[in-house]
Structure 1
């Protein structure tokens, strides 16, 4: 198994890490729950039950890229680049690499340029890197950080309530930050991992291509 401070050297290891979170113990930055989060998100999660059934029909496909079990993430909520509330369902038809990050999380900061590069190279009508900042407080610190490191292509997604992190934690997906979820165009989780990865590597690009292949 790779050292916790190294990125994945092969596509099969990226896929294994996405399902098993093999780096979680070594590199995840643990956080505590802060408040109840977004009440609308909590209520919407109940609607995911019927969507989970639809996602389970993709069990064979999910096994290839390895989410276990398949589940719907349509109700996950945060603010879009326009500052208005949105959910995963609002991006229907688009495969997403959903990444939760914070400025105080060193592994998150380290992988942000690679996520920006992945969006620059693979972003399209069919795929987007959705990096959601979960700092509490106002936008000043995360926006300053993104400007300082020269992020050019990532949209500015935000949740200052901790609702998004708490929801993914309750679903058994998030152990800490960063956490990354690969979600298909119907809002179904097809893979996830805790900890950073070299998202601008050829392996990561192949992962995206595999997720888009139908």
Structure 2
């Protein structure tokens, strides 16, 4: 088994932009269900216009929160599969991609849009969300049911439009 991920970027670090290489289908991650049933955090993320999205307000449909960064090669490799998932399940599943970059959305948005045009770019500039989830490896995805209860966390990249992901997304609390 091969597991790949990225450590969190610290302030002041400048890293080159990641390039997509190889087939991310060969990568495997870890499913964590230890926080199953926990409520979605009362944390807000921001969009390119500075508008806030309160995550706890997203009840009513399942939500997949994906923490990623432009400098994280496995994150970048995962983006097309997340985009295909958004195309297939966009009406029944809210996908919230939250960049953990220290950069502003003016950098993140142009990076994300060509790779995943259906995904909304959100930013967590203070790293509050990553801290709340105790994220040490990117990408990390957290799945919530329609009532806003955590179902699982997935650490590492995943082919979101394949059978393994479909089985995970069928789970409820």
TM-score over 0.5 for the alignment? yes
Aligned residue for 1:27, secondary structure, equals coil
Counterpart of 1:199?
A: 160
TM-score (norm 1): 0.64
C-alpha separation in 2, matches of 1:186 and 1:31: 29
Deviations 1:131-162 (A, max 9, x none): 1112112223222222332x221122221221
Matched, 1:156 2:126: no
Conservation of the 8 A alpha-carbon contact between 2:140 and 2:156: yes
Closer/same/farther in 2, CA of residues 89 and 178 from structure 1, 3 Å limit: same
Report how many aligned residue pairs link the two structures.
153
Deviations 1:81-132 (A, max 9, x none): 75322222111112111100100011100000100110110111x4111111
C-alpha separation in 2, matches of 1:32 and 1:166: 12
Greater Rg by CA: 1
Counterpart of 2:6?
A: 29
C-alpha separation in 1, matches of 2:6 and 2:117: 26
- Give the superposed CA RMSD: 2.3
C-alpha separation in 1, matches of 2:79 and 2:88: 14
Higher strand share: 2
Aligned residue for 1:175, secondary structure, equals coil
State the shift of 1:32 in Å. Answer: 5.7
- Runs (4+) of structure 1 exceeding 3 A deviation are 80-83
Matched, 1:184 2:161: no
Unaligned stretches of 5+ in structure 2? Answer: 12-30
C-alpha separation in 2, matches of 1:154 and 1:202: 21
C-alpha separation in 1, matches of 2:166 and 2:33: 18
State the shift of 1:193 in Å. Answer: 1.7
